[in-house]
Amino acid sequence: MGQANTEALRSQLEKQVQGLNGVKIVYNQVRVKQPLSFTQISNDSWLTTKVKSALLTDDRLSGVKIKVITEDSEVFLLGYVSKEHADVATEIARNVSGVKQVIRAFQFSEQQEKLNTEAEPEQPAPVADQPQEEEEEVKPIIEEPAPFVEIEG
């Protein structure tokens, strides 16, 4: 996210981030354009507030944590959620007045889906000295507005 005055600067930023320790994949969402005006930044803050409010008031997303970032009227949704919750959140954000585009940067997990959809756990919590099962690999994706395109890393 952000703006760069030239494609060369955008590419340089991407290379610098890729060179950081621990970085596996970079989804470069920096736009080649002039920096945003104060008015646009204020509008983006208002859009973020409206999207967060809409997400928080929807019963289907009760207890689900989703990060919302807005830049130039593009809403980025981030979080570790089930596919179902991602779809609900996307539809809600797309219908907020003023949103030009929704970019999904969720991580999906069957385990998270189970946690998000069960009211009562089926099994007791594990005892600390028992070996834990390996966590499943979580693959981040980014999806653009309809028609959505999934990119798996």
Q: Are residues 63 and 110 in the same domain?
A: yes
Q: What integer pLDDT is reported at residue 113 of this predicted model?
A: 56
Checking if the pLDDT of 140 tops 80, the result is no
Range of the domain at 95: 36-117+138-153
How long, in residues, is the chain?
153
Tell me, yes or no, whether 18 and 86 share the same domain: no
- Judged against a pLDDT cut of 70, whether residue 82 lies above it is answered with yes
Going from the C-alpha of 16 to that of each of 9, 26, 30, 46, the distances in angstroms are: 10, 10, 13, 31
Q: How confident is the model at residue 150 (pLDDT cuts 50, 70, 90)?
A: very low
User: Do 78 and 147 belong to one domain?
Assistant: yes
Q: Are residues 28 and 49 in the same domain?
A: no
Mean pLDDT in residue range 22-37: 87
Q: What is the mean pLDDT of the chain?
A: 79
**Best CA proximity match to 41, nearest among 68, 84, 13, 72:** 72
**pLDDT tens digits, one per residue of 114-129:** 555 554 445 554 544 4
Residue 110 placed within a domain: yes
User: Mind listing the pLDDT tens digit for each residue in 33-55?
Assistant: 899 999 999 999 999 999 999 99
Number of domains, the chain: 2
pTM listed for this prediction: 0.67
Are 73 and 42 spatial neighbours (Cβ–Cβ below 8 Å)? Answer: no
Which CATH number does the domain housing residue 73 bear? 3.30.300
Residue range 24-33: mean pLDDT, rounded: 85
